[in-house]
Amino acid sequence: MVLNWFALLIDEAMATWQCVKNCGACCNLDPSDRPDLADYLNPDQLALYMSMVGEDGWCIHYDPTQRDCTIYEKRPSFCRVTAETFQEMFEIEPEEVNDFAIDCCRDQIEGVYGDRSLELLVFDRAVGI
Sign of the dihedral through C-alpha 78, 14, 9, 121? positive
Average pLDDT of the chain is 90
Number of neighbours of residue 71 by Cβ within 10 angstroms: 13
For 26-69, the pLDDT digits (tens) are 999 999 999 999 999 999 999 999 999 999 999 999 999 999 99
